[in-house]
Chain A
Amino acid sequence: MSDDIKVFGFWIYLMTDLVIFAVLFATYAVLRDSTFGGPSGNDLFDMPFAFAETIILLTSSFTCSLATLSVYRAKKNSVIFWFAATFALGAAFLFLEFSEFSKFIRMGAGPQRSGFLSSFFSLVGIHGLHISIGLLWMVISMFSIWLRGLLAPTVSKIFRLALYWHFLDVVWIFIFTAVYGMSRL
């Protein structure tokens, strides 16, 4: 089966995933003021913290691109290295997200507190779930490259993994803007 077909199919999958995020964004937009007397986004969100998360994820997208460039040059070790870097940055992002979540929950601003917080945890949490799946996929890809080298089917999967990772980055940009940035409005 040609690669072309797989990439096209994967793009369609990404668009369907984007529809899921569209629903979550819409839910957040509807519920962002439904704080039910609890804390609002302006009270909770720490902009420098969210900005740090953003920089980390953007950098991980950059290292992911370096990994795909190394695939073109057929340098197996450098592919693994850059994916390891991407993994580390992705894991750091996830750690920051968890610490933010646990901070909110400890403050009594958990997902049960209000409609606003429910939609916040759903949107950001499902993005985080996608990141975790991406990290898992990355580990499996790295093992596959390490054990078997850069075989044609593996390379094809790496490109799709990279597409997925950049896609999550784009979604995060929107989360950063619509959730964190607009909380100051």
Chain B
Amino acid sequence: MQEFFFGKLTLDALPHHWYTIGATATIAIMGLICAAVLTKTKRWSWLWNEWLTSTDPKKIGTMYMIFAAVMFVRGMIDSGMILLQQSIAADSQGYLTAEHFQEIFTSHGDIMVFFVTMGFFFGFMNWILPLQIGARDLAFPFLNSLGFWLTAAGGALINLFFTCGGHFANTGWLAIAPLSELEFNPGAGVDYLIWSLQLSGLGTLLAGINFVVTIIKKRAPGMSLMKMPLFVWTSLCAMILVISAFPVLTATTLLLWFDRILDMHIFTVGVGGNQMMYFNLIWMWGHPEVYILVIPAFGMFSEIVSTFSQKKVSGYTSMVYAAFAITFLSYLVWLHHFFTMGAGADVNSFFGIVTMLIAIPSGVQVFNWILTMYKGRVTFSSPMYWFIGFICLFTLGGMAGVLMASPPADFQVHNSLFLVAHFHTMIIGVALFGIFAGLTYWFPKIMGFTLDERLGKRAFWFWLIGYFISFVPLYLLGFMGATRRLDHYAASTGWQPFYVTSALGFAIISCGVITQIVQLIVSIRKRKQHLDTTGDPWNGRTLEWSTSSPPPFYNFALIPTVTSRDEFWQMKQSNRHLENHYEDIELPKNTGMGIYISGFAFALGFALVWQILWLAILAPFGIVVCLTIRSLDDHTEYVLPAEKVMQVESERG
């Protein structure tokens, strides 16, 4: 009977370790505080009507960013725990068990990749991309809402193990088989990982389809492909990677789950399974994924360097081709993640050479960025600080990457901390610095006031110095033979001082994060002094700056007709203004279906993790009912009449 109602879920699954009790209590207290504030200010219906059910990409974008920021703090705590353990675990077990340590680095990786970096990028794309192409909305507003909520459901599921189960996967972020097989990994941890990635992966895929269609079909009249801002181009590249790579993740993790639940033998040891196929499949998704994490940042930096140099971006056409070359090459390099598999010299050389080739388009971009500043009127606002930091770290990390692209060299540093330092250089230096630069740059557009510059620059210095103190020791440790993911080591290796230095660097980076939080609070409190009344605080070049800050919910009262690459800049130069007559606007209605469907999807994920049969049948049924109701609803849009648009516009001044 208990088996029927609760599947494999038993009372043992309730929190009983210090960290599961602590995390569950934290989540509960945070939830209670939010609920109390909402009740006190009577804002429940406001939250539901204005935000949770919204189909406005700007609101969905804000929700993506808040979600990503919360997950970022969660991932930061993980990295602090990892480094603390490593700096005290010389000749001792430290304060974490080996099992717990492994679970921490696994969840750190998954959370930072799937929920933080991608969450922020989807936030930016939702906010900025429609504005840059002169569109009012994405191609599929409902899918956009559904995609966000599926991602959020995945994020909830990955943290649910604190409350139900107590153990996460201990396999590393890719759940490498056969370690992730039932034989070596009984328990719900790996299933949590699989179903969290299935849900968020589906959300990502829906968003990917949505953005590709939006970019291809929803551009303002006159905006030919070669007139698109570079952020739109790089988003297109990243989304092409999403739609071609994410199905591989879905299929691979599904096959892994089949192995676990149906006792299949696809990736198992013996009975005809093939473990190396898991490496191949997961990295066929994984390498494009790495570029999904950095390519949008390339576009953001292109916008930023051009704006703050008051000059058009150097070599626009070559930038576009470079982005596409990187996109294309990223499909052909997956094997460099496991040169040591023993595929043979021919195969290794092919993948080694293709990997090195990526340095060429990357170099084209770096030189173009530098040339954009050349003879420009450069203003060193804080986005430019992040930009300069990015150029340094991108070059450094890229060099380390080219070093490892050579198979013989890779054999020496494979799976060492050198590799860990390399990809952190890329993810911090490119993706995170891009996100921080973008946040500072577009914050006035999103919120209507600029961020505090002084604190922003201070946060940058904490981050940059903290980065070097934290990761240079890891490069060195890698050369000294320290492998990644060590929960303890012998003191005679002499590694401890390096680990301690690295943890010190983490503390400095944490100061940077705290400075950023303070910066946000200070900026909100002093917003009256930093109001952006013009909608164009940086003397920008692209169409998003032609709207007010924040833009009206319909983005553009009248869709602009585009004539040149830096359309808004040209408008300012030729003193051309947007016309002032109004038309009826068709806009999507809000809908709660995205939340309902994701709620059922979350229940399905939970049911499959714990093998609760009745719920696993009920939840898909709920999804089908929701989809049917939605598909029979013919009135998903409403018309905002021209008079109303005029009224809104005049109220805004």
Task: List residues of A whose CB falls within 8 A of some B CB.
Answer: 1, 4-6, 8-9, 12-13, 15-17, 19-20, 23-24, 26-27, 30-31, 34-36, 38, 111-116, 118-119, 121-122, 136, 140, 144, 148, 151, 153, 157
Contacting residues, chain A, for B247 (C-beta < 8 A): 16-17, 19-20, 23
Contact of B213 with A12 in the complex, beta carbons under 8 Å: yes
Contact of B272 with A31 in the complex, beta carbons under 8 Å: yes
Contacting residues, chain B, for A140 (C-beta < 8 A): 628, 631
B238 interfacial by beta-carbon distance below 8 Å = no
Contacting residues, chain B, for A23 (C-beta < 8 A): 247-248, 251-252, 255, 281
A23 vs B205: C-alpha distance in the bound complex, in angstroms?
16
A20 vs B274: C-alpha distance in the bound complex, in angstroms?
19
Majority SS at the chain B contact face: helix
Looking across the interface, which residue of chain A has its beta carbon closest to that of B248?
A23
A33 vs B641: C-alpha distance in the bound complex, in angstroms?
66
Contact of A19 with B244 in the complex, beta carbons under 8 Å: yes
A167 vs B408: C-alpha distance in the bound complex, in angstroms?
45
A1 vs B637: C-alpha distance in the bound complex, in angstroms?
9
Looking across the interface, which residue of chain A has its beta carbon closest to that of B243?
A16
Shortest distance from the beta carbon of A69 to any chain B beta carbon, whole Å: 23
Contact of B205 with A16 in the complex, beta carbons under 8 Å: yes
Contact of A114 with B271 in the complex, beta carbons under 8 Å: yes
Which residues of chain B from 399 to 416 have a CB within 8 Å of any chain A CB? none
Contacting residues, chain A, for B216 (C-beta < 8 A): 8
Contact of A8 with B277 in the complex, beta carbons under 8 Å: no
Contacting residues, chain A, for B246 (C-beta < 8 A): 16
Looking across the interface, which residue of chain B has its beta carbon closest to that of A153?
B634
Contacting residues, chain B, for A116 (C-beta < 8 A): 272
B43 interfacial by beta-carbon distance below 8 Å = no
Contact of A35 with B634 in the complex, beta carbons under 8 Å: no
Contacting residues, chain B, for A16 (C-beta < 8 A): 205, 209, 243-244, 246-247
Shortest distance from the beta carbon of B546 to any chain A beta carbon, whole Å: 25
B103 interfacial by beta-carbon distance below 8 Å = no
Q: A1-B637, A8-B217, A118-B258 given; name 11 further pairs at CB < 8 Å.
A: A4-B217, A8-B216, A12-B209, A19-B244, A23-B251, A27-B281, A31-B273, A36-B270, A121-B264, A153-B634, A157-B631
Chain A to chain B contacts (Cβ below 8 Å), 22 pairs: A5-B140, A5-B213, A9-B140, A16-B244, A19-B244, A20-B248, A23-B248, A23-B251, A27-B277, A31-B277, A34-B272, A34-B274, A112-B263, A112-B265, A115-B274, A118-B259, A118-B266, A121-B264, A122-B258, A122-B264, A144-B631, A144-B632
B372 interfacial by beta-carbon distance below 8 Å = no
B440 interfacial by beta-carbon distance below 8 Å = no
B648 interfacial by beta-carbon distance below 8 Å = no
A121 vs B255: C-alpha distance in the bound complex, in angstroms?
11
Contacting residues, chain A, for B244 (C-beta < 8 A): 15-16, 19
A12 vs B209: C-alpha distance in the bound complex, in angstroms?
7
Contact of A30 with B274 in the complex, beta carbons under 8 Å: yes
A129 vs B420: C-alpha distance in the bound complex, in angstroms?
40
Contacting residues, chain A, for B248 (C-beta < 8 A): 19-20, 23
Looking across the interface, which residue of chain A has its beta carbon closest to that of B255?
A122
Contacting residues, chain B, for A6 (C-beta < 8 A): 140
Looking across the interface, which residue of chain A has its beta carbon closest to that of B273?
A115
Contacting residues, chain B, for A12 (C-beta < 8 A): 209, 212-213, 243
Contacting residues, chain A, for B515 (C-beta < 8 A): none
**Most chain-A Cβ atoms within 10 A of its Cβ — which of B216, B248, B250, B264?**
B264
**Most chain-B Cβ atoms within 10 A of its Cβ — which of A9, A15, A31, A113?**
A9
Majority SS at the chain A contact face: helix
| The residue from B212, B255, B271, B634 contacting A151, defined by CB atoms under 8 A apart | B634
B639 interfacial by beta-carbon distance below 8 Å = no
A6 vs B139: C-alpha distance in the bound complex, in angstroms?
8
B180 interfacial by beta-carbon distance below 8 Å = no
Tell me whether A31 and B274 are in contact in the complex, defined as CB-CB below 8 angstroms, given that A119-B266, A140-B631 are known contacts. Answer: yes
B210 interfacial by beta-carbon distance below 8 Å = yes
Looking across the interface, which residue of chain B has its beta carbon closest to that of A9?
B213
Contact of A112 with B264 in the complex, beta carbons under 8 Å: yes
B156 interfacial by beta-carbon distance below 8 Å = no
Which residues of chain B from 244 to 300 have a CB within 8 Å of any chain A CB? 244, 246-248, 250-252, 255, 258-259, 262-266, 268, 270-274, 277, 281
A140 vs B270: C-alpha distance in the bound complex, in angstroms?
44
Looking across the interface, which residue of chain A has its beta carbon closest to that of B217?
A5
Contacting residues, chain A, for B36 (C-beta < 8 A): none
| The residue from B209, B217, B262 contacting A112, defined by CB atoms under 8 A apart | B262
B77 interfacial by beta-carbon distance below 8 Å = no
A46 vs B555: C-alpha distance in the bound complex, in angstroms?
61
Looking across the interface, which residue of chain A has its beta carbon closest to that of B244?
A19
Tell me whether A27 and B266 are in contact in the complex, defined as CB-CB below 8 angstroms, given that A5-B139, A8-B213, A118-B259 are known contacts. Answer: yes
Contacting residues, chain A, for B212 (C-beta < 8 A): 12
Contacting residues, chain B, for A136 (C-beta < 8 A): 624
A36 vs B218: C-alpha distance in the bound complex, in angstroms?
54
Shortest distance from the beta carbon of B641 to any chain A beta carbon, whole Å: 19
Looking across the interface, which residue of chain B has its beta carbon closest to that of A38?
B272
**Most chain-A Cβ atoms within 10 A of its Cβ — which of B139, B246, B265?**
B265
Contacting residues, chain B, for A112 (C-beta < 8 A): 262-265, 271
Looking across the interface, which residue of chain B has its beta carbon closest to that of A8?
B213
Tell me whether A15 and B272 are in contact in the complex, defined as CB-CB below 8 angstroms, given that A4-B217, A9-B209, A111-B264 are known contacts. Answer: no
A3 vs B205: C-alpha distance in the bound complex, in angstroms?
21
Contact of A122 with B217 in the complex, beta carbons under 8 Å: no
Contacting residues, chain B, for A17 (C-beta < 8 A): 247
| The residue from B255, B259, B272 contacting A35, defined by CB atoms under 8 A apart | B272
Tell me whether A111 and B262 are in contact in the complex, defined as CB-CB below 8 angstroms, given that A12-B212, A19-B247, A23-B248 are known contacts. Answer: yes
A151 vs B634: C-alpha distance in the bound complex, in angstroms?
9
A174 vs B210: C-alpha distance in the bound complex, in angstroms?
29
**Most chain-A Cβ atoms within 10 A of its Cβ — which of B213, B272, B277?**
B272
**Most chain-A Cβ atoms within 10 A of its Cβ — which of B244, B266, B273?**
B266
Looking across the interface, which residue of chain B has its beta carbon closest to that of A35?
B272
| The residue from B250, B262, B632 contacting A20, defined by CB atoms under 8 A apart | B250
Contact of A13 with B209 in the complex, beta carbons under 8 Å: yes
A35 vs B251: C-alpha distance in the bound complex, in angstroms?
22
Contact of A115 with B271 in the complex, beta carbons under 8 Å: yes
Shortest distance from the beta carbon of A77 to any chain B beta carbon, whole Å: 20
Contacting residues, chain B, for A36 (C-beta < 8 A): 265, 270-272
Q: Which 8 A-B pairs have the closest CB atoms?
A: A115-B272, A34-B272, A118-B264, A19-B247, A23-B251, A36-B272, A114-B272, A20-B247
**Most chain-B Cβ atoms within 10 A of its Cβ — which of A35, A36, A157?**
A36
A113 vs B273: C-alpha distance in the bound complex, in angstroms?
11
Contacting residues, chain B, for A30 (C-beta < 8 A): 274, 277
Shortest distance from the beta carbon of B249 to any chain A beta carbon, whole Å: 9
Per-residue interface assignment for chain B, residues 174 to 216, with 1 indicating a CB less than 8 Å from any chain A CB and 0 otherwise: 0000000000000000000000000000000100011011001
Contact of A114 with B265 in the complex, beta carbons under 8 Å: yes
Contacting residues, chain B, for A19 (C-beta < 8 A): 244, 247-248, 251
A34 vs B276: C-alpha distance in the bound complex, in angstroms?
14
Looking across the interface, which residue of chain A has its beta carbon closest to that of B240?
A12
Contacting residues, chain B, for A35 (C-beta < 8 A): 272
Looking across the interface, which residue of chain B has its beta carbon closest to that of A21?
B251
Contacting residues, chain A, for B270 (C-beta < 8 A): 36
Shortest distance from the beta carbon of B158 to any chain A beta carbon, whole Å: 22
Looking across the interface, which residue of chain A has its beta carbon closest to that of B205?
A16
Looking across the interface, which residue of chain A has its beta carbon closest to that of B251?
A23
